[in-house]
Structure 1
Amino acid sequence: MAKIEVNGLELDYELIGDENAPPLVLTPGGRYPRDTAGVPELGQLLADGGYRVLLWDRPGCGASDIAFTAPSESVMNCEALVGLVQALGLRDIRVVGGSAGSRISLMAAARMPENVRKIAIWWISGGPVGLAGLAWFYCGDQIAAASKGGMEAVVQLPSWAEQIARNPRIRQILLAQDPDAYIDTMQRWGKAFAYSDESPVPGLGEADFARLAMPIMVLRSGKSDMAHTRRTSEWVHELLPNSTMVEPPWGDQEWNYVSTFPIDTANRRGRFERWPLLAPMLLDFLKD
């Protein structure tokens, strides 16, 4: 476990596995920290398979700082990942991630394609309703709280409780925001999730997909998954120059099933707790 400053933010991270092994970045979804059930377990399996695995807390997640100057939360996170990779001197990396982690992985790789060897992604958020849900999940309750009780109400939101507990600076950063400016930022960040017929992934355009010419494995989303629609995964696959579409190691109802799991890091429960099932197929794909 360590901290490093990137783009003015203190980021919390951990590297596991042989320090001479090829580097691999694993990024979870939601605003969940890197120690969320299933994430370090998958990371350890990948490390055991021969990689130096970077686990990290994105800005606003876990013990890392946050800022509100980026055009969107996704841009803030992907630029933080690019900066973190550079700061740690990681070269010729593999990048893997699920849900928000898939979006951040693709966006970051599009900014440093010369340094990314392979990518594997699953649970790609998309679809009109799925993306509208993200806008509310990440920004809607913030706007509602700030409009009713200013930043004092924002820091009381359950969505910030864990981050503030892990990094008390988050509370001070939030309280330092002007409520009206914060609402404007959340409106802008929410708009960044807007569905478009031009791209399946907000924040990625045609030129970005064209730059992602490295081998990429896309796991097909479940037909029943309304948060990460099947069409989104297929559309991403169609736009990538060198993509392989594969079936995941679980059934169609997986997202609906794991969404019922309690979020309980201490007892290793949560939406990502079955991610270790991905290890064999990831290791098979990522090898040279």
Structure 2
Amino acid sequence: MPEVVVNGGVVCYDLIGPETGQVLVVTPGGRFSRKYRGVRPFAEALAADGKRVLIWDRPNTGASDIQIYGRSESHMRAETLAGLVNALDLGPVVALGGSGGARDSIVFAIEYPQLVSKLVVWSIVGGTFSSMSLASVYVLDEIRTVRRRGIDGILGLVGRAGSWQDLVNANPRNKQRLYDLGADEFARVMWRWLEAYVPKSTEAIPGVSDSEMRGLNVPTLIVRGGENDIDHPKRTSFEVHALIEGSRLIDPPWAEDAWERGQAARDAGVGGIFDAWMHGVPTFLDFIDE
């Protein structure tokens, strides 16, 4: 598989579409890889319009190397994406991201504005419930476990998609990378990453100050959160729209309850949480082509 070393870690990726096409980067959420259901079909639909689409395994997803450093996991991933785009000589790119990928893409645009021509984000996490939920999923168990049982305990945190053991199974180098990092440094970074998920009145989204958001100066399309989506609140999409000058806020191009339907379909084994993204392709392409 194609890969590039960025900041001492291997990053796996795929480029889809013609070499002469405008470059788009698609970043999904969670600890889900570029091979997770819905990601590649979405990228291929964008590429069918003549775009060149980059999908990638962010550090701590898929077959890429584990990376544990930085102000937050999103800041670490934004730095990695910048290194990947530069290594492949792709910039500036249109950055598209949903859920955690929306946050990663926003941080990427803030930190590396020279690499971003347009920004498209949806299913944005923010507010007390969804931020604390992420802390519970990605950080709190890690802190408790590494303090008691070290890296062996971290590798024993199984039973959820994208566990550390899943990352080792996908890339055996990751086991030694965790041991080389060590329990003390792992814990130090987890405590720092936890800070991003502590709700703050000056942060519409976890780990990104409102003042940083106000400094964004890139054409931005924001999809409003679903009416009853507690993981990606409607309110947060309005707040992000208010902070990014000149941004455009649109109603969802998919069903109002698409996230809830996607979760139910995933749990029943008949669909996935990212399947609805396909309904956004025409709208996103219209914005990109303006």
Normalising by the residue count of structure 1, what TM-score does the alignment of the two structures yield?
0.93
How far does the alpha carbon of each residue in 1:160-212 deviate from its partner, in whole angstroms, 9 at most, with x for none?
23211111111111233332432232122112211111121223234432332
1:280 to 279, 282, 289: 282
Match of 1:185, as an amino acid? Answer: V
- Return structure 1 stretches of 4+ with deviation > 6 angstroms: none
Taking only the aligned residue pairs, the percentage that are identical comes to 37
Partner of 1:184: 188
Partner of 1:253: 257
Match of 2:186, as an amino acid? Answer: Y
Deviation at 1:141, TM superposition (A): 1.9
Deviation at 1:144, TM superposition (A): 2.7
Contact in 1 for aligned 2:262/2:271 (Cα 8 Å): no
Partner of 1:173: 177
| Rounded Cα–Cα distance in structure 2 between residues aligned with 1:94 and 1:212 | 14
Partner of 1:162: 166
Consecutive unaligned residues of structure 2, counting only runs of 5 or more, are: none
Question: Between Structure 1 and Structure 2, how many residues are aligned?
Answer: 286
How far does the alpha carbon of each residue in 1:234-278 deviate from its partner, in whole angstroms, 9 at most, with x for none?
0000111121111112233222221233379xx894321222121
Consecutive unaligned residues of structure 1, counting only runs of 5 or more, are: none
Partner of 1:198: 202
| Rounded Cα–Cα distance in structure 2 between residues aligned with 1:116 and 1:184 | 31
Q: What SS is found at the alignment partner of 2:285?
A: helix
| Rounded Cα–Cα distance in structure 2 between residues aligned with 1:144 and 1:11 | 29
| Rounded Cα–Cα distance in structure 2 between residues aligned with 1:66 and 1:268 | 30
How far does the alpha carbon of each residue in 1:76-121 deviate from its partner, in whole angstroms, 9 at most, with x for none?
1111111111111112311101001000101001122233221110
Trace 1:32-181 onto structure 2 (pairs within 5 A). 32-158=32-158, 159-181=163-185
Match of 2:218, as an amino acid? Answer: M
| Rounded Cα–Cα distance in structure 2 between residues aligned with 1:147 and 1:207 | 35
| Rounded Cα–Cα distance in structure 2 between residues aligned with 1:170 and 1:269 | 30
Partner of 1:8: 8
Q: CA RMSD in A?
A: 1.8
Match of 1:59, as an amino acid? Answer: P
Normalising by the residue count of structure 2, what TM-score does the alignment of the two structures yield?
0.93
Deviation at 1:225, TM superposition (A): 1.0
Higher relative contact order (CA 8 A, sep 6+): 1
Deviation at 1:68, TM superposition (A): 1.9
Deviation at 1:5, TM superposition (A): 0.6
